[in-house]
């Protein structure tokens, strides 16, 4: 009986530190894995925020270019209309001059 109790104490004396060490290493490993996951998450979060900012800037630039093109097209149309108006005025003058001279005669 005493020999059996002694073996139990020996096993506990050897097994408990080993189990304790295994548990400690396991906890440390889990902690390390958790920290690595947290770090990857932070990196992905930072990358996502960076991409969101880039996308926002891209949309702002696109909107600005669109407005500039609209303004340019408006100015081109205004210029074209002025040219057409000048052309019409010249044509009217060309037709009015012969009519005036024949009316004076």
Which tens digit of pLDDT belongs to each residue from 86-98? 999 999 888 877 6
Provide long-range contacts, Cβ within 8 A and 24+ apart, for 71-74: none
Averaged confidence pLDDT in the chain: 87
Task: Tell me what percent of the residues of the chain surpass a pLDDT of 70.
Answer: 88
Domain count, the chain: 1
Euclidean distance between CA atoms 104 and 36, whole angstroms: 100
Q: Is pLDDT of 43 > 80?
A: yes
Q: Is 90 exceeded by the pLDDT of residue 48?
A: yes
Q: Alpha-carbon distance 12 to 4, whole Å?
A: 12
| Three-point CA angle 56, 60, 61, nearest 5° | 120
Query: Does residue 63 lie in a domain region?
Result: yes
Q: What is the pLDDT of residue 50?
A: 98
Q: How confident is the model at residue 18 (pLDDT cuts 50, 70, 90)?
A: confident
- Residue 23 has what pLDDT? 75
The answer to whether residue 13 is domain-embedded is no
* DSSP, res 71: H
Residue 12 included in any domain: no
pLDDT of residue 99: 64
Q: Which domain holds residue 68?
A: 40-90
pLDDT tens-digit profile of 58-101?
A: 999 999 999 999 999 999 999 999 999 999 999 988 887 766 66
């Amino acid at each position: 009986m005493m020999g059996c109790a002694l073996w139990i104490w020996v096993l506990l004396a050897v097994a408990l530190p080993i189990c304790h060490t295994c548990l400690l290493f396991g906890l440390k490993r889990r902690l390390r894995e958790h920290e690595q996951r947290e770090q990857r998450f932070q990196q992905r979060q930072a990358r996502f925020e960076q991409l969101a900012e880039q996308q926002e800037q891209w949309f702002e630039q696109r909107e600005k270019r669109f407005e500039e093109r609209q303004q340019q097209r408006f100015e081109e149309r205004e210029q074209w209309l002025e040219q057409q108006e000048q052309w019409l005025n010249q044509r009217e003058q060309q037709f009015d001059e012969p009519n005036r001279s024949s009316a004076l005669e």
